[in-house]
Amino acid sequence: MAAPNMLNLSGAVGKTFFANLTSTANTTLIAGNANQVFKINNITVANLDATTGYDVTMYIANNSTVTAFAYQITVPAKSSLVVNDKSGQFYLEEDQQIQGGTSASNKLSVLISYEILS
């Protein structure tokens, strides 16, 4: 399948994904769908721990390549990190995923705001 023509869209639906990062390994957070493009507007990571900072790494992956776009950034205790905002929005195609990993399980949560364009 192919990504839709951005000049002839039939719909746009706003979505929000949120989850705790439960693994130190790469975990798929959002995966593209056939005949759709996801416009990623915002990615925010929050540290749930009151005393210790933990690292987060965010990736874009496809069938053969995994590339970090935020690498081992420390999120201080009791704070949030804006990894990506509207000024740096990007598109996720059908064969791509956003993945995340952390230096400690269940210490960071992630929120991703995006639009499904079809």
Question: What is the secondary structure of 55-84 as a DSSP string?
Answer: EEEEEEE-SS-EEEEEEEEEE-TT-EEEEE
Does residue 18 lie within any of the structural domains? yes
Q: What is the pLDDT of residue 5?
A: 66
Q: What is the pLDDT of residue 48?
A: 96
Residues spanned by the domain of 77: 12-117
Low pLDDT (below 70) residues in the chain: 1-6
Query: Could you read off the pLDDT of 78-94 as tens digits, one per residue?
Result: 999 999 999 999 999 98
Residue 18: give its domain's CATH number.
2.60.120.340
* 19, 111 contact by CB (below 8 A): no
* Distance separating alpha carbons of residues 98 and 107, to the nearest angstrom: 19
* 58, 98 contact by CB (below 8 A): yes
Q: What is the pLDDT of residue 33?
A: 86
Number of domains in the chain: 1
pTM of the model: 0.89
Q: What is the pLDDT of residue 6?
A: 63
